[in-house]
Amino acid sequence: MNVNRHKCTISLPAISPFSPSHTRFSLSRILPSSPPDHPQVSHSFSMAPTSAPALAQASETPQNDPPWLCGKPGPHHTRTTLHAPTRDAAALTYARRTYQSATVQHTHQGWSDVTVPEFEWDHTPCTFVQHFRVARAPTQAHRGVDEGAARRALMALHPAGWAVPEINITAADGCAGRADLFVLPDDSGSIGYEIKTDRDSLSRLTSQIRLYDHCFARRVLATTPRHLKAAGQLLPQAWGLVVLDPVTHEVLEQHRAPQAQERDLASQLLVLEELRVGELNALLREIGVTRTNNLLNAQRWAVLEAHYSIPTLRELCFRTLATRTGRRVIAKRLESVDCRMKSTFSGG
């Protein structure tokens, strides 16, 4: 049996928007039998080429532009990371990966409507409502820069003393974490700072409060105006509150002073537990203890505590951490000349 067939050629617009002109390609397949005199069926869909300036607004190759997550959020969707100077530029580039002549209108909370002047199937204008969402992609690098700037601003509030970032702390139930900044002024008790920038959330704040309450005499949350209202509802009254600039992370306001408690583990020998084996052995050799290879850290601590008073051993620990290089936890000596603002938290 002879079967007559005809070819259907469909021309689609280019998938990538990074070409100055659109590209056409054909999909061919053999269809079921048709009358022999049936004409060849050809459907051609093309989009207008995207201008070079529009495409130059965003790029998948990162330069100095921030990253943006484009797509529909949720576990069943995949989002794409684009680098662009603004959210609107990222949205336009993302939309034109599919529809080269599309226009984008931001509606609310990062959601965008996409309008296509000539839709493929019926060649009429079409608008996709809340087609995708664009949000700033979280980056630990920028978060670290933000927290570093905040730490410097907070350390400048204090007179002479020591400051240690990222020190290990524990709660009474054994839960552990890190304090963003530990400050021990020379003439008062310890202060623990938890820093929340615009890139952070307050989801872990409740559990972090327990850690800080167990270790520091005074506890302070340093945050931006974005979190101020929510933080006020979560923080105990004994906690202090500092308002940071959301961009520079300088101190805008010392909103509430902390109330000191009697418990102050950080002013004792909490810093001793930050020392590594080599650093502990170096301190032991200074007092004549040379056979240290088989000692546990708890035994090393006990020998040092038996030989030194708490203030002396604590100072040795701070000075040891101050000589570290390339480590996460280091110590910085704060001098009176560094104090640019009179702090209500330093006890002075």
With cut-offs at 50, 70 and 90, classify the pLDDT of residue 57: very low
Looking at residue 141, its pLDDT comes to 52
For residue 103, with 0-12 CB atoms within 10 Å meaning exposed, 13-18 middle and 19 or more buried, which class applies?
A: middle
Looking at residue 40, its pLDDT comes to 39
3-class SS of residue 58: coil
Specify the amino acid at residue 245. D
Looking at residue 106, its pLDDT comes to 87
Mean pLDDT, residues 118-124 taken together: 73
Looking at residue 48, its pLDDT comes to 38
Looking at residue 140, its pLDDT comes to 52
Q: Over the chain, what is the mean pLDDT?
A: 79
With cut-offs at 50, 70 and 90, classify the pLDDT of residue 8: very low
Mean pLDDT, residues 113-126 taken together: 79
Better-predicted residue by pLDDT, 102 or 251 = 251
- Tell me: the pLDDT tens digits for 130-147? 788 888 776 555 556 788
Looking at residue 202, its pLDDT comes to 93
Highest mean pLDDT among 57-61, 184-188, 341-345: 184-188
Contact present, 315 and 294 (Cβ < 8 Å): no
Q: What are phi and psi of 347, to 5 degrees?
A: 85, 0
With cut-offs at 50, 70 and 90, classify the pLDDT of residue 80: confident
With cut-offs at 50, 70 and 90, classify the pLDDT of residue 306: very high
Percent of the chain whose pLDDT exceeds 90: 46
3-class SS of residue 195: strand
Looking at residue 75, its pLDDT comes to 66
Name the DSSP class of 114. E
For residues 142, 145, 149, 151, the Cα torsion angle rounded to the nearest 10 degrees is 110
pLDDT at 20 over 70: no
Least confident of 103-117, 182-196, 291-305, 313-327: 103-117
Least confident of 46-60, 115-129, 220-234, 296-310: 46-60
Mean pLDDT, residues 236-263 taken together: 95
Neighbour tally for 231: CB within 10 Å = 21
- Tell me: the pLDDT tens digits for 198-227? 888 899 999 999 999 999 999 999 999 999
Percent of the chain whose pLDDT exceeds 70: 75
With cut-offs at 50, 70 and 90, classify the pLDDT of residue 13: very low
What is each CA distance from 105 to 43, 135, 315, in whole angstroms? Answer: 30, 15, 60
pLDDT at 251 over 70: yes
Mean pLDDT, residues 19-44 taken together: 36
Better-predicted residue by pLDDT, 212 or 40 = 212
Domain range summary for the chain, segments of one domain joined by +? 52-136, 140-338
